[in-house]
Amino acid sequence: MSTNYLLFIMAILKKQLEKLNLSEREADVYVELLELGETTVEQISRKSKIKRTTVYDVIESLKAKGLIGTTKRKKRTLYYAEDPRILESQLEEKKTVLEGILPQLLSMASGIDKKPDVKYFEGSEGIKNVYQDTLNYPNQEILMWGTTDVFKYFDEGYMWDYYLKKRIEKKIWMRAIGQNLGVVQKIQAEDKKYLRETRLYDSTGLFLEVEINLYGKRKIGIMSFKEGLGLIIESEKIYTTLKTIFELNWKMLDNRK
């Protein structure tokens, strides 16, 4: 075996040992000891090209990990690498410990508030992805703040010929809040046909430029048709807060009848 090839193999071994929670210097010293057998600090330092004072620290660290042993020869302290199979037994021991505590760790993790998950979609096709996601929750309810921008900047064929039909097939009820405009009044007139109840607010000086859908008990779909941007936010806390605001709006509009 050539010297260059041996050096190449040793370099690979050292990198792999670093993945087993050894530092770069610990891996260097351990591999050098495997090759040298029983040896002195001076030889380890020379072979690994690590300063002698540092080698002492590395040796102590490896001894603590059970990877180095010592012996005496003519009043000299010699060091040797323990059987590499000790690494396997240590991993098995750690695996056993992990398996024992994993259920408790998972239980604790499930109680931690998760950061909101946000997905971005671009263009008309991207916005369709948001609508498609709302269809994944049959027999539930969508709460929606609407905008007339949908009629100006989006694919009406998709809305009438696909989305509304699919929503009805999946028995997804909708409560919608929209502007008190003629085009929205026409939609409101067909509420029963489309499993929907719409309430209108006076539009003087008030404009919604995005559509917001609350669905799936923890998701918020936001569609900015003019900008060609869609968002899906998954957060129980954000959903609950917006649902509270929606319910307040809903009751206020009912009281104005």
pLDDT score of 1 more than 60:
no
**Is the pLDDT assigned to residue 232 strictly greater than 60?**
yes
Give the residue with greater pLDDT, 250 vs 116.
250
Question: Considering the domain 117-255 in this protein, what is its CATH number?
Answer: 3.30.870.10
Work out the percent of the chain whose per-residue pLDDT is above 70: 94
- Residue 257 reports pLDDT greater than 50: no
Average pLDDT of span 205-217: 91
DSSP 65: T
**Using the 8-state DSSP alphabet, how is residue 79 labeled?**
E
Q: What is the domain partition of the chain in residue ranges?
A: 3-81, 117-255
According to the model, what pLDDT value does residue 112 have? 60
Model pTM?
0.58
DSSP 83: P
Q: For position 196, what pLDDT does the model report? A: 96
- Residues 103, 104, 110, 113: is their CA dihedral positive or negative? negative
Whole-angstrom distance, CA of residue 58 vs CA of residue 51? 10
Fold of the domain spanning 3-81: Arc Repressor Mutant, subunit A (1.10.10)
Instruction: Write the DSSP assignment of 134-199 as a string of letters.
Output: HTTSTT-EEEEE--THHHHHS-HHHIIIIIHHHHHHTT-EEEEEEESSHHHHHHHTTTGGGTEEEE
C-alpha to C-alpha distance for 52 and 58, rounded to whole angstroms:
10
